[in-house]
Structures are given as structure tokens and as C-alpha cells.
Amino acid sequence: MQNRYSGDVGDFGKFHLLRFLLNNQEYNLSQIWYMYPDESHNNDGLYINYFEKVKEFDLELEEKLLEITQTNRCVKALEEAKLVKNTKYFSLYVNENAKDDLVYRKIWFQKALKFSENSDFIAVDPDNGVATKLIKKDETKDIKIQSFEDFKRKSKAGKYIFDEEIKHLYKNCKCLIIYHHLNRTMSHDKQIEILKSKFEKEYKKVFAIKHKPYSPRVFFFLCSCDEVASFLEKRLKEFENSFSIHWKLFDTIKVL
């Protein structure tokens, strides 16, 4: 997450989803931003002219994000808007002095882990999502989820979440929600199917829902609790049915 993204279409999608799922429940949420220093090499974060496309989806959310995009685009403003109830935010930068360092990263993660203890839900929002690598096998393509061992070979590692972090955070909550930005290595749906299949080998129950506008992204839900999994199965389907123009749910998937 970068301050310059605050209030863009990705934020609308994320908060729209979380509010629909959690605002009428008693669950608590720990949001770990994976804060990364603002970059200036591209125009990412400029998708703020989307409000006509989401009109009346969530009136309170529209109003608050419109104000943020026009007055104070920063993560602190998102936190202070209190968009999701029973939520606390971990805003420490994932790197030190804008430089990625493995020693600092591990210290940072221990702080994030301590912060999120005993959470019902934990949501992580790294810029690019899960650290992955494309693997080509003959005529087929596969995806490897990368670990800290791959850290030094991963450019701008602060923009990703690594395999070990996923495993530890999963143990800290009833459900871990992971933001992941889709790329051009293969079709977006195929990427989701492969990653979901890999998560299903490690975690109890997995859901994935794709946010389609502009630059597609996906949210993975890794559930350790049967009660929460049952709750999400129903609510995510209701969400997709209500807003299918922008969302696609991946539940039962078989990867060939």
C-alpha cells in the first residue's frame, strides 16, 4: 500500500467488500497495510474518476472516499474515516529508509504478527500481493509462491507478501484475507485458479473473489475456522449476486 493509492478504485473495491462482510457482524479485523514509500515512475493510483460506475453501491463509502480523493489522499485518512467497524490498523513501513532489507523485514513482520494476535480476520494489502514466479514446464505454465529464501532475487520485495508470512498470519486468526494484483503472464482467471489450488493444499478452506474494474485484482480468503468459512461462503455469494458487474467469485475450482 502507498499513500498515493488512497481512495482509488482499488480502495473502493476493498472497503466495499469488507464493509459488506463485516459491518453488521461482531468479528474484529486487523488491517496490515504493508506500507511502501510512494513511487513516481508510473501513474498508478490515478483511477479516482470511478464514482459514477459505483453509484449507490455503498453511499456512505462513496461519500467518504470522494472527500478523501479531493482533500487528503493518505492511508491515515482512510483509517480515520472508520470505514470498517472493529478494525485496527498496522501502518509501520515495511522497509527502512525506502530500502528493502531482509533483517529489517523480519523485525517488521514480528511486530505485525504481535499486533494481529487473536484476530478474527487479518487483511494484508501489499502493493503487488503474493510474491510469485512464473514456472514454464514444456507447454504449460505454473506459479511458484516465493519464500524469504527468494527475497534477494525479488525486486522491490517490500511490495509483496511471502509464503512464510502467509503461514504465520494464518495461525493468528480465523481467516486471512490477501490482496493480490493480477499480471499478464497468463489469463487472470487462470492465475486465480492456480493460486487458489495451491492455497487449498495448505489451508483448510479457501475462497477467491476477483474485482474486475480497470486493473483486475483478487482477494483470497484463507479460513482456519469452520464457522467463519460457512459465514463467508454465504456472504461472498450474496455479494457476487448483488454486484456481479464488478465481481466474480471463485469457490469450487479444479485445475487441470
The domain locations on the chain are: 24-45+84-250
**Residue 190 half-sphere exposure, CB side, CA atoms within 13 Å?**
11
Helix, strand, or coil (residue 27):
coil
Cβ atoms of 30 and 90 closer than 8 Å: yes
Q: Phi and psi of 221, rounded to 5°? A: -115, 115
Q: What is the per-residue pLDDT for 42?
A: 52
**DSSP per residue over 158-193, as a string?**
GGEE-HHHHHHHHHTEEEEEEEEE--SSS-HHHHHH
Burial of residue 118 (number of CB atoms within 10 Å: 0-12, 13-18, 19+):
exposed
What CA–CA distance (Å, rounded) separates 254 from 228? 23
Summarize the confidence of residues 98-116 as an average pLDDT.
Answer: 93
Cβ atoms of 7 and 150 closer than 8 Å: no
How is residue 139 written as a grid cell? 507447454
Summarize the confidence of residues 181-189 as an average pLDDT.
Answer: 91
CB atoms within 10 A of CB 86: 14
Report residue 45's pLDDT band, with 50, 70 and 90 as the boundaries: very low
Report residue 51's pLDDT band, with 50, 70 and 90 as the boundaries: low
Cβ atoms of 178 and 185 closer than 8 Å: no
What CA–CA distance (Å, rounded) separates 116 from 172? 7
Q: What is the per-residue pLDDT for 10?
A: 84
Instruction: Return the axis-axis angle of helices 163-171 and 102-115, rounded to nearest 10°.
Output: 20
Q: What is the per-residue pLDDT for 106?
A: 93
Summarize the confidence of residues 198-223 as an average pLDDT.
Answer: 92
What CA–CA distance (Å, rounded) separates 61 from 84? 10
Q: What is the per-residue pLDDT for 256?
A: 35
Taking only the tens place, the pLDDT of each residue in 191-208 is: 999 999 999 999 999 999
Taking only the tens place, the pLDDT of each residue in 137-166 is: 877 899 999 999 998 888 889 999 999 999
Helix, strand, or coil (residue 136):
strand
| Mean pLDDT over the full length of the chain | 89
Q: What is the per-residue pLDDT for 90?
A: 97
> Nearest Cα to 170, choosing from 224, 115, 250, 132?
224
In this predicted structure, the answer to whether residue 88 has a pLDDT above a threshold of 90 is yes
**DSSP per residue over 75-135, as a string?**
HHHHHHTT-STTEEEE--BSSBTTB--HHHHHHHHHHHHHHTTTEEEEEE--SSEE-EEEE
